[in-house]
Amino acid sequence: MQYKDGIDEATGNVVYKQYKANGEDENGEPIEAKGQVALINFNGANNIEQSSNRITVNGITMDLKSKGEFTVNVGTDVDGVYEKIKEFIDDYNELVEETNKLLGEEQFRSYKPLTAEQKKSMDKEDIKLWEEKLSLVYFVLMILYLELC
């Protein structure tokens, strides 16, 4: 990788230099820096070896940028927990209210399965409508049952 260093006064050309990620010795020769395996002591877990700068200990992921000590504070978000519980209770109460409302409806309550004798006295279209309404009643009851389980 190169960067612009200036302009050569004699030729007027742009002069570029090479980035050296590992540095140079006194003679300008590149020095190769090699990484080392890190030894980490964290909250009683001692001598954890890690070959990369990203470590995870006890579910906490850290990106190590330099040598030294640091403090990690982990706490409970009490307000967040309270809000989640409150949201659950509100949703539950809404479900109970809706269930009670649906169970209290009188619509189609009188629809019971037709007997063979009743079917004989009705035309096919009336039988079809009756059975569709009956299916809707059973469907609503099934949904309510599944939501409560």
Q: At what angle do helices 78-104 and 124-148 cross, to 10 degrees?
A: 150
Provide the mean pLDDT of the chain: 76
Which range is least confidently modeled, 12-16, 69-73, 74-78? 69-73
- Tell me how far apart the alpha carbons of residues 5 and 25 are, in angstroms, rounded to a whole number: 20
User: How many CB atoms within 10 Å of residue 64?
Assistant: 14
**Which pLDDT tens digit goes with each residue over 36-58?**
777 777 777 777 787 787 877 77
The pLDDT assigned to 24 comes to 67
Domain spans, the chain? 1-34, 36-74, 78-148
34 contacts: CB under 8 Å, gap ≥ 6: none
What pairs with residue 30 in β-bridges?
Answer: 24
Integer CA distances (angstroms), 133 to 95, 98, 103, 104, 146, in order: 24, 20, 16, 17, 20
- Tell me how far apart the alpha carbons of residues 44 and 60 are, in angstroms, rounded to a whole number: 14
1 pLDDT more than 50? no
- Tell me how far apart the alpha carbons of residues 63 and 137 are, in angstroms, rounded to a whole number: 59
The answer to whether 130 and 111 are in contact (CB under 8 A) is: yes
The pLDDT assigned to 91 comes to 93
Integer CA distances (angstroms), 98 to 20, 55, 102, 104, in order: 69, 49, 6, 10
Mean pLDDT calculated for residue range 61-81: 79
